[in-house]
Amino acid sequence: MLQSDAGVADYLPLDADTENIFDKLDDGILLAHLIHKINPDIIDLRALNTKKPLNIFKIKENLNLAISASKSTGAIVISMHPEIFIEKIKHMELGLIW
């Protein structure tokens, strides 16, 4: 689905035998690209902070953008905030991307 997306080349492939998906979701870039794949009109990828290294403020901007965009897909987003991804609260992360 995202293998041809140059914006997430550093994040793929995901290893199903490990929990590295949580490490790859923590800056909001992969999450934003996933949402963009669902509906390209929901999120403008040009708004993402992609220049590495990202500081905590840029990471939170990315995550807030992705979380807000996920609401527009019709996903039920309750008590979702950037710290969930930064602190890797796995069940909450899975609840959003599932």
Q: Which of 74, 56, 2 is nearest to 31 (CA)?
A: 2
The dihedral region occupied by 74, where left means phi > 0, alpha psi between -120 and 50, and beta the remainder, is left
Tokens of 24: 């790859």
Residue 92, helix vs strand vs coil: helix
Q: Does residue 1 have a pLDDT over 80?
A: no
Residue 35 host element (H or E): helix 29-38
**Domains identified in the chain and CATH numbers:** 6-97 (1.10.418.10)
Q: What is the pLDDT of residues 6-48, one digit of tens each?
A: 889 999 999 889 999 999 999 999 999 999 999 999 999 999 9
* Dihedral angle computed from the Cα positions of residues 69, 71, 72 and 76, in that order, rounded to the nearest 10 degrees: 150
pTM of the complete model: 0.92
